[in-house]
Structure 1
Amino acid sequence: MSTFDEDRSPDESFSATPEAEPSAESFDSTLDAEQHSTGKQPGLFVIASGVVTALASLALLYYLEHIKGWTVIGYYWNFVIPIGAIGVGLCAGSGYGIGSWLTGARIGRTLLITVLVLQILSYFAAQYIEYLMVLEQIPEEFRHEHSFFTYFDSVTRAFAFQQEGGGPGQAFGAWGYGMRFLEAAGFALGGLIVPGILATNPYCTTCNRYMSTKSQYAVLPAGVEPRKIKKRDKEALAAYEAEQAAALAEGMKLAEKVGEAISADDPAGVAQILNEQQPQKSKNEKQLRRIHLNLQHCSVCAGGKFVAQLVEGHGKEQKVGAIAEWDLPEGFVTQIESTTT
């Protein structure tokens, strides 16, 4: 773990800690999510939520680094990965995800690009505000000699890793711009983590809400339990492989029955299949091959989707492949759960 030494006086170099966030008033409240024809569009509340968390994060950062003397944004892993900047950026950009979750606004490419731009702007706006604060410490008659670009260049060239004894290391000079890039990029990309994760969540376009996912809602048999067979016993190996193939075929047929019941708008039929397999769920999971039915459901309309996946192996050797997806109409999930045990 490495940190930048920022404990220099204004005469030696300028400090480089972000501290402020630009206003979101200039952003249109109809900011969309990839111009989707369905799904609620992120509005000013989502942007404002991100601005609030960015301001709070940068204010806390300023307090920790300038009041408490704790280096946060200057932490680097293996001297290259700016984990401090990424962490601060994550906190700063978390509001975009929170605002989207609360309003049900769908996050898409347009909003992610907007978040990235806002994070970059806030990083450099913080540099400019800190420059103004440093400028206040200089006698007025000499302030004209210190432009923002002079400040920024001085701070960047003064970057240095802190030595083990706590003293300042050698300044990077022009190479400081490389570290400045890593810091700004880490802060900007860190802000995409929360909204980026939320963007991958299933979404109900009917209710404009993010859906919840119940993994392994059901486990269908599609194989046999593993057993040891000597490699030299060709006949036993062939029989075992044939048994596996037959079990896989039966499992795929069972999954097809689930899909047929959904297509026929028959929640009772789906529930019957699930009820038959529920007592063997743990046993089915031990098989070399099994089919996971993952349920994505909307808490408002009780619709959603069943996602079928073929799972092979266990532990680190486990492989997962998609089989099929079936959309569930409104109320379908409630009807299934009311008849499943």
Structure 2
Amino acid sequence: MAVVEEFRHLRDARGTRGPRRRRTDAERKEERAAWSFLFPWFVGMVLITLGPMIASLVLSFTDYNLLREPSWVGVENYERMLGDARLHKSLGVTFTYVLVGVPLQLATALFLAMVLNRGLKGLAFYRSVYYLPSLLGGSVAIAVLWKQLFGVNGLINQVLGFFGVTGPGWISNPETALGTLVLLHVWTFGSSMVIFLAGLRQIPDMYYEASAIDGAGRWRQFRSITIPLLTPVIFFNLVLQIINAFQSFTQAFVVSGGTGGPVDSTLFYTLYLYQRGFTDYQMGYASAMAWLLLLIIGAFTAINFLVSKYWVHYDD
């Protein structure tokens, strides 16, 4: 009892958490080193990300043409978006591009990942080759090449002509122009494929062996084993690719010559934002459009997270 009383006395005198241990010189040195390495990141965060975001938010409430001081107009830019027919058209084009291109790209990536997961010789080579489109797909050079391939006298029509088929001008036809950009997006499946392949490698073989003993075929194994265990990877790729698709710009800019034509059929939202900001010098309106895009991407991401609990299966 005397020991207990002494302990209570010491606890009351020093506090329930006990005395604070003094840091050694080595610990202080490590802490200073950590902060020194983190400092450039904090500077970049403030100057390159947070600062421009705050500036664009302020500019979205102004009339600013890059040549004179911005003047405050309140929510006029946001009200103006409600009646902007070309903005509504660009939203329709972008939504079509995202809702069609992303599922097709993920399906293609998953299919090729399953093919490569079957233990092909030279897997590292094929994995690198299939990953290249993701590195090059967003470049100006590939967009120029795509424009040549689907031109009136491009390679696609030359191949069709060999079989006696006269192909249209895929890029110049409003009905097919957006389809060529969706196809280009599907072609950039490499990054998703590599992630799918890594997820497939984590599925234990014992599940497939046990199901094969019970008489399950490949399709049954795919539906009941592969897809459920791969849903976290599918969810990750889905969120990532939706965000990337909404931000697509280079392909539409190069293929349409910066106009979004023909007849605004390739007028991506980002391209229209660029036109307003850097062609028409309506930087305040473009800033408001940028924040609308942020809200749209945030809404899609939030919806994906909300519904993920109904179809994404984790270990628990």
Question: Under a length normalisation based on structure 2, what TM-score does the superposition of the two structures give?
Answer: 0.28
The structure richer in strand per residue is: 1
Question: Under a length normalisation based on structure 1, what TM-score does the superposition of the two structures give?
Answer: 0.26
The structure richer in helix per residue is: 2
Larger RCO: 1 or 2 (CA < 8 Å, sep 6+): 2
